[in-house]
Amino acid sequence: MTDTLSTPLLSAENLGRDYGARIGCRDVAFDLFEGEVLAIVGESGSGKSTLLNLLSGQLAPTAGRVAYRMRDGATRDLGSLSEAERRFLFRTDWGFVHQDATRGLRMGVSAGGNVGERLMAVGERHYGRIRAAAEDWLGRVEIDTTRIDEKPTAYSGGMRQRLQIARNLVTAPRLVFMDEPTGGLDVSVQARLLDLVRGLVADLGLAVIVVTHDLAVARLLSHRTMVMKDGRVIEQGLTDRVLDDPREAYTQLLVSSILQP
């Protein structure tokens, strides 16, 4: 029987992606365990978004591999999965929260329909249960349940992000990818959203990989932080250590806000 406490949920091994002569990312290696939050930070063009797309199977690596431990305990190379198997992972085990919520929502479908659609994708067909689950999740992400039949076009930016989170979490995924989840939001809305995400991660025991240029997001949400520069991980470790006692000159510049994202 697989020991899930000591076996990584996701592993990257010598992972790389090149675009001709340009390096997207190179030689990335790490393990992620259940319940752990990993932040990937760096300025624009550092390779963090390329890495997130590799880890989530949306981009094929030119070197190395990504391995994921399935619910049956078997560890699979993402590159060996069929397109149908990858889609199934995204409907069940994985969530993906986009910076632009319109990419993660169906804007012409009601809020309840957005949440319920994901439940239907995993086989739920009972209307009453679907609507009850949608109402429950709207409440959990602090959206007034009386607005369940409104479309996301009627929601503010912060509400759309919270709805996107509800849509992703309703099927109880084990791993959630977040791409700049607070980008473009007002500071007060960012703080509220981060508090919400931190609470949900703790309550549900999620593993999360979050890409951000905002070190405050990394500090608040993550257990570990990886710093990227020119497609490579130049420093990684416990978040408090990396941000309070950075060893690399580039990380020191990031922390002191001399480098702008």
Identify whether residues 34 and 69 lie together within a single domain. yes
pLDDT digits (tens, 9 = 90+) for 148-171: 999 999 999 999 999 999 999 999
Q: Is residue 35 included in any domain, yes or no?
A: yes
pLDDT (0 to 100) of residue 65? 96
Same domain (yes/no): 88, 2: yes
Residue pointed to by tokens 């905002």: 214
End-to-end CA distance of the chain: 45
- pLDDT tens digits, 141-151: 999 999 999 99
Are residues 253 and 130 located together in one domain of the fold?
Answer: no
* Region class of 185: left (phi > 0), else alpha (psi between -120 and 50), else beta: beta
138 lies in some domain:
yes
- Going from the C-alpha of 41 to that of each of 77, 184, 195, 227, the distances in angstroms are 25, 17, 19, 5
Over 50: is that where the pLDDT of 241 sits? Answer: yes
Residue 137 is predicted with a pLDDT of 95
Helix, strand, coil abundance in the chain, percent, nearest 5 = 40, 25, 35
Show which of 157, 172, 187 is a domain's final residue: 172
**Domain end position, chosen among 125, 144, 172:** 172
Considering the domain boundaries, does residue 50 fall inside one?
Answer: yes
7 and 116 together in one domain: no
Residue 218: which domain range?
A: 1-93+174-261
pTM: 0.93
pLDDT for res 186: 87
State mean pLDDT over 207-233: 95
- Residue 34 neighbours by CB distance under 10 Å: 16
Nearest to 213 by CA among 175, 178, 169: 178
Tell me, what amino acid is at 181? Answer: P
Residue 100 inside a domain? The answer is no
At residue 3, the pLDDT reads 55
Query: Is 224 within the bounds of a domain?
Result: yes
Q: Specify whether 82 is located in the same domain as 201.
A: yes
Burial (0-12, 13-18, 19+ Cβ within 10 Å), 88: middle
- Reported as a pLDDT band with limits 50, 70 and 90, residue 261 is very low
**Residue 102 has which token pair?**
């319109």
- Is the domain of 202 the same as that of 131? no
Q: Which residue has the tokens 């508090």?
A: 195
AA identity, residue 139: G
Of the three residues 124, 148, 172, the one that is the final residue of a domain is 172
- 74 lies in the same domain as 202: yes
CATH value at residue 79: 3.40.50.300
How far is 172 from 152, CA to CA, in rounded Å?
22
